[in-house]
Amino acid sequence: MRFFLRRLAFYAFTAWAAITINFFLPRVMKGDPISAYLQKNQGKVSPEAIDSLRTLFGLDSTKSLWQQYIDYWGLLFHGDLGRSFSRGLAPVTDIIASALPWTVGLVGLATVFSFIIGTSLGALIGWRRGSRADAVVPIATFFSTVPYFWMGLIVIAVFSSTLGWFPASHAYGKGSAPEWSLDFILQVVQHGALPAITIVVASLGGWVLGMRNMMMTVLDEDYVTVAQAKGLKPRRVLVNYAARNALLPQLSSFALSLGFIVGGTLVMELVFSYPGVGKLLLDATTAKDYPLMQGLFLVIALAVLLANIMADIAYAILDPRTRQMEA
């Protein structure tokens, strides 16, 4: 229990630090793009929007820094991240909320699948070391070293342009709007297939290799020999003794890649014109849309944090030694 409290305090501190840095960052930036923008668009911006932007970017020189900081937290608690310049002053929160599900849904699922498939495959290959299953390793490695955009283009050329099995871009058909209907869900699945498959193929190699190597190490451990000497069924030795231990280091890498889901899929979103967070961030940067950028940074930082918390919890469940470290 002490362990969990300790970790919790650590994460609370990290979250606070990320938010505070996000508060100070625009205040140390040179120039004043916000004032310039407001000047240019006088009359078009509502007074409330101006207020929240002033607070977020520290334009309110009449207030003390401390007061600004308090106001900033107030806005965050109301879910107000300001207005986007490049998107007709729509609330940043809404813009991010409309992109986030696509990214998390597609890339998140693909990453989870890739992890599960890759780790299981790696466990099996490690278990049967020296057999023909080893042939999977160079193949998987090959796919993970191919530049992703290149693989994406080839896949589009083959499965979309030539064979016409899958659409080449966007998250759903033109003319449809998101709704909970079977037709729309099918569209989403069809549009998501190519990006998802390419992500799985590209990242599979790492999981296979990592797990296989850990299996090789674990198989030499005494407790695996003991399990075999106990006459346990091979499946049980593989799952409960070998893979169970080999999995632990994989979890840390998994947590890292989960954290990067939100921010790190720009190339995929560009190749497939997918309406995700990566593309949003690129657009925001090109358009010098500071409120949107600031909001995205915050969301990405918190996502990485959240992934780490989940990995910690998984670790504590799977490895009793972590729980006891402090006792």
Partner 1 sequence: MTADPLLTVTDFSVTYEVDPPVEAVRNVSITLERGEILGLAGESGCGKTTLAYGIQRLLKPPAVITSGTAVFQDAGGQTIDLHALTVEQMRRFRWDKASMVFQGAMNALNPVTNVGSQLDDVFLTHRPQMSRAERKEECARLLDMVGVGRERLRSYAHELSGGMRQRVMIAMALALKPQLMIMDEPTTALDVLVQREILQQISDLRHEFGFSVIFITHDLPMLLEISDRIAIMKDGRIVEIDTSANIYHHAQHEYTRRLLSSFPSLTGERGDFVRGTGHGAGAVEENGASR
Partner 2 sequence: MTTLEFSHVTKRYRVRGAGDMLALDDVSFTLHSGETIALVGQSGSGKSTIAKILTQLERATTGDILLDGKQIPRRGKGLRSYRQQVRMVFQDPFASLNPYHTIRHHIERPLRLDHVVPSDEVETEVRRLLERVHLDPASTIDRRPHELSGGQRQRVAIARALASRPSLLIADEPVSMLDVSIRLGVLNLMADLQREANLGVLYITHDLATARHFSDEIMVLHHGVVVERGKSDDVILNPQHEYTRALRDASPDPDKHFADPSAPAPTRS
Please report, as ranges, the residues that interact with partner 1 according to CB under 8 A: 130, 221-223, 225-234, 236, 240-241, 244-245, 248, 318-321, 324
Nearest to partner 2 of 163, 327 (CB atom): 327
Nearest to partner 1 of 40, 129 (CB atom): 129
User: In 10 A of CB 145, how many CB atoms?
Assistant: 9
Contact between residue 73 and residue 67 where contact means Cβ atoms under 8 Å apart:
no
CB of 88 to partner 2, least distance (A): 56
Q: Which does 318 bind (CB under 5 to 8 A by kind): partner 2, partner 1, none?
A: partner 1
Q: Which does 326 bind (CB under 5 to 8 A by kind): partner 1, partner 2, none?
A: partner 2
Q: Where are the alpha helices (DSSP H) in 58-163?
A: 65-77, 92-103, 109-127, 136-145, 148-155
Phi, psi at residue 177, to the nearest 5°? Answer: -125, 150
Which residues make Cβ contacts (< 8 Å) with residue 127, sequence separation at least 6?
215, 219, 238, 242, 243
Q: Which does 231 bind (CB under 5 to 8 A by kind): partner 1, partner 2, none?
A: partner 1
Among residue numbers 287 through 326, which ones bind partner 2 (CB under 8 A)? Answer: 326
Buried b (16+ CB within 10 A) or exposed e, 165-174: ebbbeebbee
1 binds partner 2 (CB under 8 A): no
Nearest to partner 2 of 2, 40 (CB atom): 2
Q: Which helix (H) or strand (E) covers residue 11, if one does?
A: helix 2-28
Q: Which of 2, 128, 129, 288 binds partner 2 (CB under 8 A)?
A: 2
Q: How far apart are CA 73 and CA 56, in angstroms?
A: 9
DSSP state of 317: H
Nearest to partner 2 of 229, 327 (CB atom): 327
Length of the chain: 327
Q: Which does 27 bind (CB under 5 to 8 A by kind): partner 2, partner 1, none?
A: none
Which positions lie near partner 2, rule CB under 8 A? Answer: 2, 326-327
